Chains A and B, each alone.
Chain A
Amino acid sequence: MRPESNWRYMIVGIAFAIGGLFIIGQTVRVQVIPSSGDIIEGANVFAGHEQIIYPVRGQIYDRWGNVLAANKTVYEIGVDLRSVQSPEDIALVLSGLLEDDYDRLLALTSQEYIERIAVYNLLANFVSVEDVNKLRDMISTRNQAEAQGILDSGPNLTGLLFYPHLQRTYPEDDLASNVLGFVSQEGQGYFGVEEYYDDLLAGTPQKVWIPNDPNLVEELPEIPPGTDLVLTIDRNIQATVEDILDASVEEVGAVGGTIVVMHPQTGEILAMASTRRLDLNQYWNYAEVFPDPQLPFNTAVSKTFEPGSTFKILTMAAALDNGDVKPGTPFVDTGVIEIGGINIRNWNNAAWGPQTMTGCMQHSLNVCMAWLGQEMGADRYYEYLQNFGIGRNTGVDLAGESPGRLKIPGDGDWFPSELGTNTFGQGVSINMTQLMMATSSIINDGKMVTPHVVQSIVNPDNQYNITIQVAGEPLYKKTARQLNQMLTDSLVEEASDALVTGYSVAGKTGTSEIPTEFGYSLEQTHASFLGWGPVDDPQFMVYVWIEEPQTSPWGSVIAAPIFSEVVERLVVLMDIPPDALRASLKEAPVEEDAPEN
């Protein structure tokens, strides 16, 4: 190396050193200056993006595995503002196809592209696959024509983007809508099972980082889907009950009605039908179906009302259980009894003379019931009602349960006369499932079962079946059996319209006057019937509640025949043979063939 060249090498070396120092200095600077966060953030914009991955919402099935709620693909449609060539074409096509406002769409598609500020505009969401396929066909047709050199061959939709995602769908439309509830476009469950089990159905969303650098790509975490639910609802029973209810309500000119079918030994709700039903695929029509905000989405659990004479079942149960009376205990009905300063009379203002307790139930005598309350005393009577769960939520797994109101001695608004009126179902408000739960104690040898609509909770690995929940044991076994027989006999002796040929059923009618701010309305009533069968091995309990019927005010005339009609179909749908056949099978059990060796 010649000495005269040294200075050149020196200069190059110094230049490299300065460059190196500059790089190091700059590296340090961008990390310590106040705006370093912005720089890092700016770099992250290009490094990738954060995405929240939502699990697929769990499906809902009926007890046999028929789908009641599922998910379908819909699309978000937007425009890439940089690529748009004809905003007018896009706005025109979409306004026609989606029945949207042309000016709004044109404003969105015409917006000027500004890097990182105005890049993408959302035009429509939840667009069906069919509509998107039409748009894709238009794009495809134009592309093919352009490839062949044909110009102006249809609307220019360049710049349209489609992003698929899932939306809740209900294949049965309005069937069991009161039980199911619905899911909004934001993914929030409202009413029914969708609200009550929203967390389970929706699953747990996870935030993941999606890098743009393919070298950094990692497998996305396995996000478990939402939990599936199998309901206790039987789709066919539900459809049948809804049909019967709709026809009956129309026939009697009622405002509305509700029928609940429960398996009384397990608490499984087999059907829960109301006349106001919403097509869940068009839940935005909610206000049309429920114009009054006071109207409950699910009458069976959210509507509280005075039950009327069906409540006498509990009064008689309490009196029998307390040892005050027996089924044959005589009672002379004088037609009036005074309790707490008011006179209580029978439904027809008549005196029915000598009766037994079975006769009191058969003729639905208010005076007899009030006498029973008086014999028991307020403390004991209300203790029984509280043990029956009156005034408390049953815990049924549906959103919006309302507990009603049971006033007890000591409450500021309780008066001694209420002991009399409460015994025949006035002055106390309940929801339908409460009375069904309380009455299940008569069927289950004194034990009440909690009503429920979910039979199984299913995750990808396991199915957890819900077991029977005993809600309490308010009665002795002997009392339950006595009352069961009394209510069977009273229907037979009354030759009730609730009876079904070949099947033994028990139950009680109810006619309740509607309380208003001016007292009870004598012109409008709620007609009801609560019954079950077959009596020796009950498989169904049916509660019929008809709101303000016009043809007759009485539960025995309006609700009892509906009960009978429902049971006629139930025994077929539930494969329940007539009593005589079942008895003969019990006497001569069929031996199974021995397995071949």
Chain B
Amino acid sequence: MNNRFVNAYRQAPWRTQVKAIGIVAAAVVFLALIAGIYLNVTARAATIGRQIQEIQSDKEITQQRIENLESQLARLTAASTMRERAEEMGFRSAGRDEIVYLVVPGYTGRPLAELAPEPGQPQEVPVSLPSEFTLSLIDWARELVSQVALQNGVPLEAPAP
């Protein structure tokens, strides 16, 4: 009698197998999904890493090219070269008694080389990143709301009583 009840409520073997297979398959799919995501992220990281290496190499080569071009320019404008070019164009050095001096109001003389600002002087801020990359999410949202509010003429704070 008992066996009958057991057999009556017992799941068919094929159902058990299907269920087991389903669980295993789900686990495999889940693992495959995780592996796929991991692989994807790893591949992208590797690609970007490779790009970083290439960009760094490009940067180095560009730096060298800049230095090279600067030295070429310096050679083209060297004192001896400029003098030769001036002489070819028919110029010559002015003598002491050939100079006519003019008074130019406000002229304080030729400025010395200034390659960078002196300490303490305000410096030009280079092109900055968009705020999305520099602010936290909350700050960014707050700034966005204030901009929209300002555009619509809504005061951000309640006026003083």
Q: Is the Cβ of B49 less than 8 Å from the Cβ of A572?
A: no
In-complex Cβ contact of A220 among B56, B71, B113 (8 A): B56
Q: Is the Cβ of B49 less than 8 Å from the Cβ of A217?
A: yes
Q: Is the Cβ of B116 less than 8 Å from the Cβ of A73?
A: no
Mask, B125-152, CB within 8 Å of A = 1, is: 0000000000000000000000000000
Q: In the complex, A593 Cα to B48 Cα: how many Å?
A: 62
B158 lies within 8 A of chain A by Cβ? no
Instruction: In the complex, identify which listed stretch (B15-23, B29-37, B94-102) lies at the interface while the others stay far away.
Output: B94-102
B85 — which chain A residues lie within 8 A by C-beta?
none
B78 lies within 8 A of chain A by Cβ? yes
Q: Is the Cβ of A72 less than 8 Å from the Cβ of B105?
A: no
B46 lies within 8 A of chain A by Cβ? yes
A575 — which chain B residues lie within 8 A by C-beta?
101, 109-110
Given contacts A64-B113, A66-B74, A72-B72, 16 further A-B contacts (CB under 8 A): A56-B67, A67-B70, A171-B74, A172-B78, A214-B45, A214-B47, A214-B53, A455-B112, A455-B113, A462-B118, A501-B97, A502-B96, A568-B95, A571-B96, A572-B95, A592-B105
Mask, B59-86, CB within 8 Å of A = 1, is: 0010111011011111101111001000
Shortest distance in angstroms between A258's beta carbon and chain B's nearest beta carbon? Answer: 20
Q: Which of chain B's residues has its CB closest to A175's CB?
A: B79
B67 — which chain A residues lie within 8 A by C-beta?
56, 70-73, 166
In-complex Cβ contact of B71 among A71, A165, A577 (8 A): A71
Q: Is the Cβ of B116 less than 8 Å from the Cβ of A459?
A: yes
B157 lies within 8 A of chain A by Cβ? no
Q: Which of chain B's residues has its CB closest to A172's CB?
A: B78
A33 lies within 8 A of chain B by Cβ? no
Q: Is the Cβ of B112 less than 8 Å from the Cβ of A64?
A: yes
Cross-chain pairs A/B with CB under 8 angstroms, 30 sampled: A56-B63, A61-B113, A64-B110, A64-B113, A71-B70, A71-B71, A72-B68, A73-B64, A73-B68, A165-B64, A171-B74, A175-B80, A214-B45, A217-B49, A236-B79, A239-B79, A239-B80, A455-B113, A458-B116, A460-B116, A461-B117, A461-B123, A462-B119, A463-B117, A463-B118, A572-B96, A577-B101, A581-B101, A591-B105, A592-B106
A585 lies within 8 A of chain B by Cβ? yes
With A463-B117, A502-B96 in contact, do A590 and B105 touch (Cβ < 8 Å)? yes
A462 — which chain B residues lie within 8 A by C-beta?
116-119
Q: In the complex, A236 Cα to B77 Cα: how many Å?
A: 12
B26 — which chain A residues lie within 8 A by C-beta?
none
A295 — which chain B residues lie within 8 A by C-beta?
none
Q: Of B47, B94, B112, which is in contact with the most chain A CB atoms at under 10 Å from its CB?
A: B112
Shortest distance in angstroms between A75's beta carbon and chain B's nearest beta carbon? Answer: 10
B105 — which chain A residues lie within 8 A by C-beta?
590-593
Q: Is the Cβ of B116 less than 8 Å from the Cβ of A465?
A: no
Shortest distance in angstroms between A571's beta carbon and chain B's nearest beta carbon? Answer: 6
A71 — which chain B residues lie within 8 A by C-beta?
67-68, 70-71
Mask, A67-81, CB within 8 Å of B = 1, is: 100111100000000
A230 lies within 8 A of chain B by Cβ? yes
B118 — which chain A residues lie within 8 A by C-beta?
462-465
Shortest distance in angstroms between A476's beta carbon and chain B's nearest beta carbon? Answer: 32
With A215-B42, A215-B45 in contact, do A463 and B74 touch (Cβ < 8 Å)? no
Q: In the complex, A410 Cα to B56 Cα: how many Å?
A: 66
B89 lies within 8 A of chain A by Cβ? no
B94 — which chain A residues lie within 8 A by C-beta?
572
B45 — which chain A residues lie within 8 A by C-beta?
214-215
Q: Is the Cβ of B116 less than 8 Å from the Cβ of A171?
A: no
Q: In the complex, A166 Cα to B63 Cα: how many Å?
A: 10
Q: Which of chain A's residues has its CB closest to B103's CB?
A: A590
Q: Is the Cβ of A169 less than 8 Å from the Cβ of B71?
A: yes
Q: Is the Cβ of A216 less than 8 Å from the Cβ of B77?
A: no
A592 — which chain B residues lie within 8 A by C-beta?
105-106
B residues lining the A interface (CB < 8 Å) = 42, 45-50, 52-53, 56, 61, 63-65, 67-68, 70-75, 77-80, 83, 93-97, 99, 101, 103, 105-106, 109-110, 112-119, 123
A587 lies within 8 A of chain B by Cβ? no
Q: Is the Cβ of A61 less than 8 Å from the Cβ of B112?
A: no
B114 — which chain A residues lie within 8 A by C-beta?
463
Q: Which of chain B's residues has its CB closest to A64's CB?
A: B113
Q: Is the Cβ of B79 less than 8 Å from the Cβ of A172?
A: yes
A220 — which chain B residues lie within 8 A by C-beta?
56
Q: Is the Cβ of A70 less than 8 Å from the Cβ of B79?
A: no
Q: In the complex, A61 Cα to B63 Cα: how many Å?
A: 19
A47 lies within 8 A of chain B by Cβ? no
Q: In the complex, A219 Cα to B48 Cα: how many Å?
A: 11
A129 lies within 8 A of chain B by Cβ? yes
B106 — which chain A residues lie within 8 A by C-beta?
592
Q: In the complex, A458 Cα to B97 Cα: how many Å?
A: 39
Shortest distance in angstroms between B83's beta carbon and chain A's nearest beta carbon? Answer: 7
Q: Is the Cβ of B53 less than 8 Å from the Cβ of A572?
A: no
A64 — which chain B residues lie within 8 A by C-beta?
110, 112-113
Q: Is the Cβ of A585 less than 8 Å from the Cβ of B52?
A: no
A524 lies within 8 A of chain B by Cβ? no
A59 lies within 8 A of chain B by Cβ? yes
A485 lies within 8 A of chain B by Cβ? no
4 shortest A-B CB distances, which residue pairs? A214-B49, A65-B113, A217-B49, A67-B74
Q: Is the Cβ of B53 less than 8 Å from the Cβ of A61?
A: no
Mask, A198-225, CB within 8 Å of B = 1, is: 0000000000000001111111100000
Q: Which of chain B's residues has its CB closest to A232's CB?
A: B112
Q: In the complex, A459 Cα to B49 Cα: how many Å?
A: 31
Q: Of B63, B64, B65, B94, which is in contact with the most chain A CB atoms at under 10 Å from its CB?
A: B64
Q: Is the Cβ of B49 less than 8 Å from the Cβ of A215?
A: yes
Q: Which of chain B's residues has its CB closest to A589's CB?
A: B103
Mask, A120-162, CB within 8 Å of B = 1, is: 0000000001000000000000000000000000000000000
Q: Is the Cβ of B80 less than 8 Å from the Cβ of A65?
A: no
Q: In the complex, A238 Cα to B96 Cα: how many Å?
A: 18
B97 — which chain A residues lie within 8 A by C-beta?
501-502
Q: Is the Cβ of A217 less than 8 Å from the Cβ of B53?
A: yes
A166 — which chain B residues lie within 8 A by C-beta?
64, 67
A456 lies within 8 A of chain B by Cβ? yes
A455 — which chain B residues lie within 8 A by C-beta?
112-113
In-complex Cβ contact of B119 among A56, A218, A464 (8 A): A464
A235 lies within 8 A of chain B by Cβ? yes
Q: Is the Cβ of A219 less than 8 Å from the Cβ of B74?
A: no
A327 lies within 8 A of chain B by Cβ? no
Q: Is the Cβ of B65 less than 8 Å from the Cβ of A73?
A: yes
Q: In the complex, A500 Cα to B94 Cα: how many Å?
A: 16
A175 — which chain B residues lie within 8 A by C-beta?
78-80
Q: Which of chain B's residues has its CB closest to A502's CB?
A: B96
Q: In the complex, A518 Cα to B74 Cα: how many Å?
A: 51
B52 — which chain A residues lie within 8 A by C-beta?
217-219
